[in-house]
Chain A
Amino acid sequence: KAGVTQTPRYLIKTRGQQVTLSCSPISGHRSVSWYQQTPGQGLQFLFEYFSETQRNKGNFPGRFSGRQFSNSRSEMNVSTLELGDSALYLCASAPLGLYEQYFGPGTRLTVT
């Protein structure tokens, strides 16, 4: 099976802009989670989607949002970008009923 894919892999945006990141899970996986990885904070949970519904949400401001489509592909959006949003954004998918998460390669977002 193909692994989790994320697009784009690299992105440079200006403060105040918005950005949309995309994640395609492993075929058959219906759960998609998003994480922000920074050197100082490590991996922090953003939110999880399952069957097009947000099932869990981490402690991030409302500027961070997401959605999931009927084919399980997921997008996350960050509005009004701040310098501190520069990070590696990872998505992970999991099969139904199991805990194991498989990560994508990430999108490296740089905000200038």
Chain B
Amino acid sequence: GENVEQHPSTLSVQEGDSAVIKCTYSDSASNYFPWYKQELGKRPQLIIDIRSNVGEKKDQRIAVTLNKTAKHFSLHITETQPEDSAVYFCAASTGGNQFYFGTGTSLTVIP
């Protein structure tokens, strides 16, 4: 089955700096890559996603890039704010609604 690896497991940045989280996947058939943000005690929330026919997608301060050849995708958060502090999960899917998740990155934005 699919295997998704996520790095780093923890990340601390100063407010206003950028944060980058990287994921790799193993199944070349994966074609959908969402990113979820989970605040403490809350449900995961979809923040951005990308499909395999797109190399990059941006939504305000958040962007995701996908390299199908290398089988990796990354989340970029610019101008980080304290409210960006949370655990971020990447995931991959070959279709349907069976997602394989990374192990999460705990992001702390230091004011």
- Do the two chains bind? yes
Chain A positions near chain B (C-beta within 8 angstroms): 4, 31, 33, 35, 41-45, 48, 50, 55-56, 58-59, 90, 92, 94, 99-106
**Residues 93-108 (chain B) with a chain A CB within 8 angstroms:** 93, 96-104
**CB-CB < 8 A to A50: which residues of B?**
96-97
Contacts of A104 in B (CB 8 A): 43
User: Closest Cβ of chain A: how far from B12's Cβ, in Å?
Assistant: 19
Q: Is the CB of B96 within 8 A of A48?
A: yes
Q: Which of A33, A44, A59, A90 contacts B97 (CB 8 A)?
A: A33
Pair B102/A56 contact, Cβ less than 8 Å: no
Contact of B46 among A58, A102, A105 (CB under 8 A): A102
A75 to B42, CA, bound (A): 21
Given contacts A42-B103, A43-B89, A59-B1, contact A103 B43 (CB under 8 A): yes
Residue pairs across A and B with Cβ atoms less than 8 A apart, 17 shown, are A33-B98, A35-B101, A42-B89, A42-B104, A43-B101, A48-B96, A50-B96, A50-B97, A58-B98, A92-B97, A94-B97, A99-B97, A100-B46, A100-B49, A101-B46, A102-B46, A104-B43
Report the number of A-B residue pairs with Cβ-Cβ less than 8 Å. Answer: 63
Which of B34, B98, B103, B104 has its CB near the most chain A CB atoms (within 10 A)?
A: B98
Give Cα A42–Cα B6 distance, bound, in whole angstroms.
11
A99 touches B49 (CB 8 A): yes
**With a CB–CB cut-off of 8 A, which chain A residues contact B98?**
33, 45, 48, 56, 58
Cβ-closest 5 pairs across A and B: A43-B101, A56-B98, A103-B43, A42-B103, A99-B32
Report A10 CB to chain B, min CB distance, Å: 12
Which A residues touch B67, using CB under 8 A? Answer: none
Residues of chain B lying within 8 A (CB to CB) of residue A55: 96-97
The answer to whether B93 touches A90, judged by C-beta atoms less than 8 angstroms apart, is no
User: Besides A43-B44, A43-B99, 19 other CB < 8 A contacts?
Assistant: A31-B96, A42-B104, A43-B89, A43-B91, A43-B104, A44-B101, A50-B96, A55-B96, A56-B97, A90-B44, A94-B97, A99-B49, A99-B51, A100-B49, A101-B34, A101-B46, A101-B97, A103-B36, A105-B42
